[in-house]
Amino acid sequence: MRGLPAFGHFSNFILGQICNVLRLHIYEPERVVFGQGEQGTAWYIILKGSVSVQVSPTGKPEDSVVVARLQAGEGFGDLALVEDKPRAATILTTELCELVYVEKADYDRIIKFIHEREIQERCLFLRAVPIFQDWAQASLRAVAQVINWRTYTAGATILAQGDHVQELFIVKTGQCAVIKTFNQEVREAGTVRSRRRHVQLGMLGTFACFGAEAVIDSAASPTARYTIRAWSEGPVECAVMTAFDAKSKLRGTNLMLPFTEYNDETALSGLLQYQLEERKYARLRDTVIRGLLKEWSGDPNASVQSPTVVRGTKHPVDVVTLNRVKLETSGYT
């Protein structure tokens, strides 16, 4: 049980209490676990299989749309139990499913206070996000109830340009790079050709939002305008909500796409050229620094990373000072 995301944050004592009251139910594909509008009677965890989350704007089953899919290890059905409200969605199995569940009386006794505390912690996080700072507490809590935490390893692509945007993200910890892919017209041997280019527009840090296309674009299936990639040395953690929840709860909020000043080939080409010049300068700078370190230290293997001693002395070179003074006097700054 410890390896299942739904149980991962519980103490051993709480897990033991849950094990005493868990019940197992096996569902065939295309079976309704519970329907929108029903009273909440249990909290469910998927051991095997997957389910779809469906919401009907009118309350009629025939008008239901799929807003999310849940996989093995995830839980559902807690919102109605925490808030003592009817089910907000219908859960339908998409394949043979093994579900375990905790009935409401046991949930209230063992788990409810933990889920309530988690909602309060999410509220505290959201209150620090600029777009939510002036929200009423009840509205903020409604958003907190539908977000989940998700962690990405360094270098992982969180959202790819051109993909359908199905979720809205808010950075909790770490940084993300915003990358734009575009076609650049270049002249080669008298012929104009189109070359695919990638340019980094900037970085997104704590409390930054992305995936706003899900809310502000009018298209039925909006696509991502940028690639968002986890860029920190450590993992990046985000608060994530479905596009359906984002549209229903954040419509009218002043959500904005990042780096909109780079919206055409001219601006992107200019930024790319600037970055290429910066890299060229950095390589030149490193070459000059290595040469100066070798000259001053008399050590042909000297580098910025290694302790360097000036010839004829016993004191290490202050590399930062060396870089600044020698580059200034050499005319490279």
Mean pLDDT of all residues in the chain?
Answer: 86
Residue 330 has pLDDT above 80, yes or no: no
Contact predicate 118/8, CB 8 Å: no
Angle at 236 between CA 233 and CA 241, to 5 degrees: 170
Contact predicate 252/216, CB 8 Å: no
- Block residue for tokens 């390589």: 283
Pick from 272, 260, 269, 276: nearest CA to 185: 269
3-state secondary structure 281-302: HHHHHHHHHHHHHHHHHCCCCC
Residue 187 has pLDDT above 50, yes or no: yes
Higher pLDDT, 17 or 332: 17
pLDDT digits (tens, 9 = 90+) for 203-253: 999 999 999 998 887 777 889 999 999 986 779 999 999 999 998 898 778
Q: How far does CA 283 lie from the centroid of its chain?
A: 33
CB atoms within 10 A of CB 211: 25
Per-residue DSSP letters for 180-212? EEEEEEEEETTEEEEEEEEEEEEEE-TT-EE-T
Question: Given this model, what pLDDT does residue 152 score?
Answer: 95
Residue 304 has pLDDT above 80, yes or no: no
With cut-offs at 50, 70 and 90, classify the pLDDT of residue 299.
confident
Mean pLDDT of all residues in 60-65:
88
Question: Over pLDDT 90: what percentage of the chain?
Answer: 56
pTM value?
Answer: 0.79
Least confident of 102-116, 152-166, 268-282: 268-282
Question: Given this model, what pLDDT does residue 305 score?
Answer: 56
pLDDT digits (tens, 9 = 90+) for 96-105: 999 999 999 9
